[in-house]
Amino acid sequence: MRYGHFDDEAKEYVITRPDTPTSWSNYLGSTGYGAIITNNAGGYGFYRSGARGRFLRLRFNSVPMDQPGRYFYLRDQESADYWSASWQPVGKPLDAYESVCRHGTAYTIIASRYAGIATEATYFVPLGQAFEYWRLRVTNESDRPREISVFSFCEFTNQWDTYQDRVNLQYSLFIVRGSLTEDGLLRIAIQDHLTRETEEGIIQDIAHHAWLALVGADLIGYDTSREAFLGPYRSYHNPLVVEQGRCTGSDAYGDNACGSLQSDLTLQPGESRELLVMLGIGDARSVGVRTVDEFGSLDRATEELRKLKASWHAKLGSLVVETPDEALNHTINVWGPYNCLITYAWSRAASLVYNGERDGLGFRDSVQDALGVVSAVPDDARARLELMLTAQVSNGGAMPIVKPFEHRPGHETPPDPEAYRSDDCLWFFNAIPAYVNETGDVGFYEKVLPYADRGEATVLGHLRRALEFNLERTGTHGLPCGLSADWNDCLRLGYHGESLFVAFQLRLGLTVYAQIAEQLEQPDEAAWALDHRQSLDVSIQACAWDGDRFIWAIGEDGTVYGTHESDEGKIYLNTQVWSVISGAASSEQAARCMETVNEHLATPYGLMLSAPPFVKTSIDVMRAVVFNPGVKENAGIFNHTQGWGVIAECCLGHGDRAYDYYRASMPAAYNDRAEIRQIEPYVQGQTTYSTFSPRPGNTRTPWLTGAAAWAYFSATQYILGLRPEIDGLRIDPCIPSDWDDFTATRRFRGKTIEIEVRNPDHVCRGVKTFTLNGEPLPDNLVPAKKLQDHNRVEVVLG
Ligand code: GLC
């Protein structure tokens, strides 16, 4: 079933059926002022933190779904019929109501057509601003004059702390006020008497303000009391005010506040009118008035949307490809990098699922997220990596959560010793070289940065501490301890149990460290790392190979998990793929264990994390047992890991299999079968139900997932093989053998490289000839020093 299509030219996904199986959402704004909007205009807004800065309400996981939001109600004053500019909340029958939603890069346009009236509502937050525009165009497509009233609606929180807003009703229902200012703006104030300033942040016990303004049409009436607007025992689909056709001029005083502004439009046949609603945080009388003065015109809104698009499109322009697979083109050219940028911005803190339980940047997630954006926004990626490096504790471990606006390097209290996770800082070995190789900024390794708690070191020094952290915490088999968890949140090996996944990560870290030390001409450091790697290899080979697979882990009591003799969790994806990625597996082991993966873990929807699911295993060892079999860490398809499977197969030169795996979990590949995943076909989801569940293919937790970065990274750097190295851009594709060719335009260190790859012999991998600007080169590296502003690379595989 298909609900929409990709429009790559406009960089939009166009939803033509509004009754999508789940809410299909988009992100507006920035980390300063964030907003989420669905294809039916549901959603919420927040300042800096989705948990503590929530000013616009959404009822999560509720019935009906994704309400309320940013609504325009329309009422035909002659017939008294009313509807909304998005299909929901009024929900007119779909044989009479047309809806087209275009989710673009940080803007969403929802168009409707009903009873001879067409509307188009455009929602966005201008770059760098703390307010949003809702721009509405209303067109009379009928052949008679029409009297149409328009009512905006949104619902404010009573407390910006979302938990308090929902739970602490004895307090929060008595602190909000709403009114119309002399300038005709709505003023919403929480704890108004505490202070007049809201701009200093999301601290408690200060006043919090929001404002709403109408521009481009006469204000006929308003309501700020939600109860007055909706009426008792009603809902968003049939508000009393809209039914009656007139706002009541209510001033909220306690209970709940909303923002409704009414305008009445008379439209001749064929006539269009446009108006703007502006909604922002800050005091209406100061910030609101100032903002409306500066931004309150249709022309300014047009200009701001143009700037917003230009900014996002430039970010997405770091790589543009044309491959034989349309779905891959949508993914690489628009939605993959956009998903990466949104995940990078919001970590796991704000979506329709992450609704306030997580606040701040999860350490390991955020370091991995940086990997997905190094080519799109290298400077931002560097700043983020610096932030994360300053959240590394001086013992080499990490703070689990970093609050970007509150983090105080050098002054943080480190976690309790038993709270450290074993993998946190090992992700630096993926993300930091990715940044340096992208930019050539080798000096970054020598930049001095503080630790979270005390002391400082160069970036190289931070990397060494990361390795030492794991080298100093090994178990009886010489493998790194799992500590409170490794990548897998559910793993409980006992603090001194040993994680093979971390052993492989550590091995990769030692290799990468040695390479960096060589680049910096520090041979002793390189030798130090390689010595440790050698001992680690001996430990791994002594205990971790189980004939056709690597084991999962060794518990503190010596129990070995993930062997062919285990009843549950006989095989674990991560240790197979990372044995290959880290280079720890011999070539026989690599080939064999990836075959075992294919036999036991491959499904049409992606690779399962493990199999069979846990049912009997104690929760003390394997928390995954709490999940239904076939879901999340319990033998689900954990999409975060799919890119690793792809990379491992590419390392072995298996382009056909790598692509099968990639496509199985590529959202766009499901566009015509969207009912299988159910979530947005344009973004990744954290987990896909596996064949151990009754609903294989259903995917959950859209947008914010490590799947975004790894899917993009594996496709661009391994399948297409465009791999930045310190000396230039390596081009080493590993593609399906039936591809004839592909092209790519890559922005690299300020230069443009146009790449054409031809595959006349239908191989998966192997470069036969390679030319840069017509000059044949000895191998498949485009040397950075030979780059001109515009370059042409021709590659023939064979
Ligand atoms: C979630 C967490 C991530 C963890 C993964 C596996 O994606 O955000 O930190 O690594 O689950 O448990």
- Whether 362 is in the pocket of ligand 1, judged by its Cβ within 6 Å, is yes
Nearest-atom index, ligand 1, CA of 490: 12
Task: Supply the residue whose CA is at minimum distance from atom 8 of ligand 1.
Answer: 365
pLDDT exceeds cutoff 80 at 203: no
Give CA–CA dist 280/124, Å, rounded: 12
Give CA–CA dist 444/434, Å, rounded: 12
What distance in angstroms lies between residue 488's CA and the mean position of ligand 1's atoms?
Answer: 6
DSSP annotation of 434: H
What is the Cα Rg of the chain in Å? 28
* Mean pLDDT computed over 450-456: 98
User: Residue 781 has which token pair?
Assistant: 């590296």
What pLDDT score was predicted for residue 75? 98
DSSP annotation of 405: T
What pLDDT score was predicted for residue 495? 87
- Whether 453 is in the pocket of ligand 1, judged by its Cβ within 6 Å, is no
- Whether 364 is in the pocket of ligand 1, judged by its Cβ within 6 Å, is yes
Give CA–CA dist 56/134, Å, rounded: 14
Task: Supply the residue whose CA is at minimum distance from atom 6 of ligand 1.
Answer: 488
Residue whose tokens read 């994390």? 609
Element (H, E) at 722: strand 722-725
- Whether 487 is in the pocket of ligand 1, judged by its Cβ within 6 Å, is yes
Nearest-atom index, ligand 1, CA of 640: 7
Write the burial class of residue 615 (CB in 10 Å: 0-12 exposed, 13-18 middle, 19+ buried).
Answer: exposed
- Whether 633 is in the pocket of ligand 1, judged by its Cβ within 6 Å, is yes
Percent helix, strand, coil in the chain, to 5, is 30, 30, 40
- Whether 357 is in the pocket of ligand 1, judged by its Cβ within 6 Å, is no
Residue whose tokens read 């594709």? 733
What distance in angstroms lies between residue 686's CA and the mean position of ligand 1's atoms?
Answer: 9
236-267 pLDDT tens trace: 999 999 999 999 999 999 999 999 999 999 99
- Whether 486 is in the pocket of ligand 1, judged by its Cβ within 6 Å, is no
pLDDT exceeds cutoff 70 at 197: no
What distance in angstroms lies between residue 15's CA and the mean position of ligand 1's atoms?
Answer: 30
What distance in angstroms lies between residue 436's CA and the mean position of ligand 1's atoms?
Answer: 26
Contact status, residue 2 vs residue 29, Cβ threshold 8 Å: no
Can you tell me whether residue 40 is helix, strand or coil? coil
* Mean pLDDT computed over 745-761: 98
Give CA–CA dist 529/534, Å, rounded: 9
pTM (two decimals): 0.97
- Whether 348 is in the pocket of ligand 1, judged by its Cβ within 6 Å, is yes
pLDDT exceeds cutoff 90 at 142: yes
What distance in angstroms lies between residue 209's CA and the mean position of ligand 1's atoms?
Answer: 35
Task: Supply the residue whose CA is at minimum distance from atom 9 of ligand 1.
Answer: 365
Nearest-atom index, ligand 1, CA of 705: 7
Nearest-atom index, ligand 1, CA of 706: 7
Q: What percent of the chain has pLDDT over 90?
A: 96
What distance in angstroms lies between residue 164's CA and the mean position of ligand 1's atoms?
Answer: 27
Task: Supply the residue whose CA is at minimum distance from atom 10 of ligand 1.
Answer: 487
What pLDDT score was predicted for residue 271? 98
- Whether 592 is in the pocket of ligand 1, judged by its Cβ within 6 Å, is no
Task: Supply the residue whose CA is at minimum distance from atom 3 of ligand 1.
Answer: 365
DSSP annotation of 210: E
Question: Does the annotation count 489 as an active-site position?
Answer: yes
User: Residue 349 has which token pair?
Assistant: 């803190």
575-613 pLDDT tens trace: 999 999 999 999 999 999 999 999 999 999 999 999 999
pLDDT exceeds cutoff 80 at 305: yes
Nearest-atom index, ligand 1, CA of 423: 10
- Residue 17 corresponds to which amino acid? R
Strand-pair partners of 280: 131, 211
Task: Work out the mean pLDDT of the chain and round it to a whole number.
Answer: 97
- Whether 706 is in the pocket of ligand 1, judged by its Cβ within 6 Å, is yes
Contact status, residue 283 vs residue 209, Cβ threshold 8 Å: yes
* Mean pLDDT computed over 654-678: 98
Nearest-atom index, ligand 1, CA of 638: 6
pLDDT exceeds cutoff 80 at 541: yes
What distance in angstroms lies between residue 578's CA and the mean position of ligand 1's atoms?
Answer: 16
Q: Half-sphere exposure of 188 toward its Cβ, with a 13 Å CA cutoff?
A: 27
Buried b (16+ CB within 10 A) or exposed e, 363-391: bbbbbbbbbbbbbbbbebbbebbebbbbb
What pLDDT score was predicted for residue 194? 87
What pLDDT score was predicted for residue 516? 98
- Whether 686 is in the pocket of ligand 1, judged by its Cβ within 6 Å, is yes
Which mutation among 367, 487, 489 tests ligand 1's pocket best, with the greatest number of atoms within 8 A of CB? 489
What distance in angstroms lies between residue 34's CA and the mean position of ligand 1's atoms?
Answer: 23
Q: What percent of the chain has pLDDT over 70?
A: 99
- Whether 424 is in the pocket of ligand 1, judged by its Cβ within 6 Å, is no
* Mean pLDDT computed over 683-696: 98
Can you tell me whether residue 151 is helix, strand or coil? strand
Instruction: Write down the catalytic residue from 489, 620, 672, 779.
Output: 489
Which mutation among 401, 484, 487 tests ligand 1's pocket best, with the greatest number of atoms within 8 A of CB? 487
- Whether 640 is in the pocket of ligand 1, judged by its Cβ within 6 Å, is yes
Give CA–CA dist 606/588, Å, rounded: 24
The confidence band for 231, taking pLDDT boundaries of 50, 70 and 90, is very high
What pLDDT score was predicted for residue 201? 57
What distance in angstroms lies between residue 444's CA and the mean position of ligand 1's atoms?
Answer: 28
What pLDDT score was predicted for residue 218? 98
Dihedral sign, Cα of residue 282, residue 285, residue 287, residue 289 = positive
Q: What is the DSSP string of 571-631?
A: EEHHHHHHHHHTT-S-HHHHHHHHHHHHHHHEETTEE-SEESPPSSS-TTTBGGGGSPTTB
- Helices and strands counted in the chain (H then E): 20, 42
Residue 366 CB partners (closer than 8 Å, separation 6+): 344, 347, 384, 388, 402
The confidence band for 359, taking pLDDT boundaries of 50, 70 and 90, is confident
Nearest-atom index, ligand 1, CA of 488: 12
Nearest-atom index, ligand 1, CA of 633: 12
755-798 pLDDT tens trace: 999 999 999 999 999 999 999 999 999 999 999 999 999 999 99
What pLDDT score was predicted for residue 576? 98
What distance in angstroms lies between residue 479's CA and the mean position of ligand 1's atoms?
Answer: 22
Nearest-atom index, ligand 1, CA of 364: 9
Can you tell me whether residue 2 is helix, strand or coil? coil
Which mutation among 640, 700, 703 tests ligand 1's pocket best, with the greatest number of atoms within 8 A of CB? 640
Q: Which residue has the higher pLDDT, 443 or 495?
A: 443
Of 195-199, 517-521, 640-644, the least confident: 195-199
Residue whose tokens read 């506040």? 257
What distance in angstroms lies between residue 362's CA and the mean position of ligand 1's atoms?
Answer: 9
What distance in angstroms lies between residue 358's CA and the mean position of ligand 1's atoms?
Answer: 12
The confidence band for 40, taking pLDDT boundaries of 50, 70 and 90, is very high
Give CA–CA dist 645/652, Å, rounded: 11
Q: What is the DSSP string of 657-699?
A: HHHHHHHHT-GGGGGGGHHHH-S-TTS-EEEE--TTSSSTT-E
Residue whose tokens read 């060794």? 554
Element (H, E) at 328: helix 326-330
Distance of CA 355 to the CA centre of its chain: 14
pLDDT exceeds cutoff 60 at 199: no
